[in-house]
Structure 1
Amino acid sequence: MVTVPASTLAHYSRFSRFNSPYPAHDEGRAIDLYPDSNRGLSPVAGEVLDTRTVSAPPRPYAAAEDHLILLDTGDHVARILHVDPAVGAGDHVDVGDPLGEMVRSGFFAPWVDNHVHLGFRPPDANPHRAAGSLPIETPVDVHATDWDGTGVVREAGETSVHLDAPAHPSPGTWAGLAGAPGVALDGGCPHYGGGGVRPPLDGPVTVAGERVGVAAGECVTWEDITVVANGRPITGLSLFLARDVLGTKLVCPDHDFTVGDRVSVAVRRER
């Protein structure tokens, strides 16, 4: 188990361990960190071991290449992705130091915001491989925030919209959408294979009063559901833990929402 401490998370506005379709995030073994700017801030201190450019899936909206930065933290090897490195082998960096500009590559779905991906490998393992990454823990308190499924569009993009609700209960602390009393959800519901909860839970989780899945420890299996917004099916909900601004992100390519629209979200169980 590798700890990403509160002092590190404070450099970022949002984080997620489960909001990804990639196996590196299975069981929360990687974390995506979202800065307020496009600078890729280092989430670890250590010596740069290597940087490598890798080909990404071709997407019309994304860069054709991504980058891997490997750092020796003393106890583990940290694997950092989605940053065009301005550092090289032998450089020392501290937590919060800029590593380079973030890259929006073909590994990103069109609704995914720029972020720093972080995982850890044992020092005796092949650091270039993601499989076998170590479990990650984030020892911060999280407010589980209730939501009735309604809100007003505060930001509208091509493939997603952000609602203003639920409001963050205590800006400067961490909060997420409640899936059960005292339990916050993390992940892409239901468009990615699974999600997560914090703290751990064994039992059902809900969104806007409707059951969406079942938690076993930290991991959630989504059930056969469809999320609808104003009566129309959408891809799903993008769920994070946020420090200052919460709200809800709706993943909805080809939507026709505009800023100021009132939206009602519901969950439809498929039978």
Structure 2
Amino acid sequence: MSVTRGGDGDGSCGEVVQVTLLRAVVERYRRFSVYNSPYPAHDRGHGIDLYPETNVAAAPVAGEVLDTRTVQCPDRSYAVDHDHLILIDTGDVVARVLHVDPAVAAGDHVAVGDPLGGMVRSGFFGQWVDNHVHVEFRDPTANLYRASGSLPLAVDVPVAPVTWNGTARVVDTGETYAVLDAPSHPDPGTYVSLASDEGVPLDGGLPHYTGGGRLDRTPTASDEASLSLFGTPVGTATGRTVTWDDVAVSVDGKRVTGLSLFASREAGFGPKVVSRPAAGEPSFEIGETVSVSVERVDDPRRLG
């Protein structure tokens, strides 16, 4: 982790303006997402979800544990009753770690990679979301407990865009999702994400979360661009943040909640179709071949 400060021109003092999660840390995880969540820190890319190989959460930072807290979760049949917050003082900023049942306590010192505890299946995320470690950073003088107020977060990892024609085979399913086998990963071990028609690596819940992101820009970027997928305009990017247009995702002509997009280094990379049969959306069988499309609509389905 590195910290960028403003106000003096040489980075030696001044307030923190950006935190960068370094490549050596991110590459410990098989997958990550900056925007694929309705949680406030993800709205502008001020938080990251890291997906480990196992259900043990490895510390993404080094420092002293300041506090741990347990909070009530929204009532979900698939989730635990309580979630947890771990605060770690890194010296420059305080890391906020969520969705981990702490095996550490205030006063403990941790190094990068040390076990923090087991990940929990939290009611704060959707049924189709895998267990993960949520990380964000605060100035030490800020409120460390409220949901908003985290610093801009950069990820020091290149993410390559991978094109796709929308056709794939279902390789895994759950009550609310289907995992696809395409697009295929061109170089497993490096990070890739689904490309827009313009060749932009996309991140986020399309269109079920209000916004998404592009993973080829920094938090300070301010350029604007229109983005499309499968020939349909899907959003406008301002810097790294994308505001989705009013669109719908369909599979074989039947409307679903959306596509779950992220950066992955796994050989089995493929987007996750979010579909809720309880809401009248289709279910899928492992092995079937499907075709994904996007269209403009007047009634986009937003979940957060």
TM range (shorter): over 0.9
Which range moves more in the overlay, 99-108 or 204-213? 204-213
1:40 Cα deviation (Å)?
A: 1.2
Corresponding position: 1:58 with 2:81: no
Separation in structure 2 between the aligned mates of residue 45 and residue 209 of structure 1, nearest angstrom = 45
1:196 Cα deviation (Å)?
A: 0.2
1:208 Cα deviation (Å)?
A: 2.5
1:105 Cα deviation (Å)?
A: 1.6
Q: What TM-score do you get using the length of structure 1 for normalisation?
A: 0.97
Separation in structure 1 between the aligned mates of residue 113 and residue 233 of structure 2, nearest angstrom = 39
Separation in structure 2 between the aligned mates of residue 208 and residue 48 of structure 1, nearest angstrom = 46
Q: Which of 285, 299, 302 is residue 258 of structure 1 equivalent to?
A: 285
For 1:132, the equivalent position in structure 2 comes to 149
1:256 Cα deviation (Å)?
A: 2.4
Separation in structure 2 between the aligned mates of residue 108 and residue 88 of structure 1, nearest angstrom = 25
Separation in structure 1 between the aligned mates of residue 83 and residue 271 of structure 2, nearest angstrom = 28
Native 8 Å contact 2:197 2:230 kept in 1: no
Give unpaired runs (5+ residues) of structure 1.
none
Aligned-residue identity in percent: 56
1:181 Cα deviation (Å)?
A: 3.7
For 2:58, the equivalent position in structure 1 comes to 41
For 1:239, the equivalent position in structure 2 comes to 261
Separation in structure 1 between the aligned mates of residue 294 and residue 160 of structure 2, nearest angstrom = 23
Give the alignment of 1:121-270 within 5 angstroms: 121-200=138-217, 202-244=224-266, 245-254=268-277, 255-270=282-297
Separation in structure 1 between the aligned mates of residue 232 and residue 58 of structure 2, nearest angstrom = 38
1:24 Cα deviation (Å)?
A: 1.6
Report the AA paired with residue 259 of structure 2.
L
Separation in structure 2 between the aligned mates of residue 270 and residue 57 of structure 1, nearest angstrom = 30
Separation in structure 2 between the aligned mates of residue 269 and residue 25 of structure 1, nearest angstrom = 25
1:202 Cα deviation (Å)?
A: 2.0
Native 8 Å contact 1:213 1:220 kept in 2: yes
Separation in structure 2 between the aligned mates of residue 198 and residue 61 of structure 1, nearest angstrom = 30
Give unpaired runs (5+ residues) of structure 2.
1-17, 218-222, 299-304
Separation in structure 2 between the aligned mates of residue 98 and residue 53 of structure 1, nearest angstrom = 18
Cα RMSD (Å): 1.1
Separation in structure 2 between the aligned mates of residue 6 and residue 181 of structure 1, nearest angstrom = 26
Which protein is bigger by CA-based radius of gyration? 2
1:5 Cα deviation (Å)?
A: 0.6
Separation in structure 1 between the aligned mates of residue 296 and residue 187 of structure 2, nearest angstrom = 33
Q: What TM-score do you get using the length of structure 2 for normalisation?
A: 0.87
Native 8 Å contact 2:194 2:261 kept in 1: yes
Report the AA paired with residue 239 of structure 2.
G
Separation in structure 2 between the aligned mates of residue 95 and residue 52 of structure 1, nearest angstrom = 21
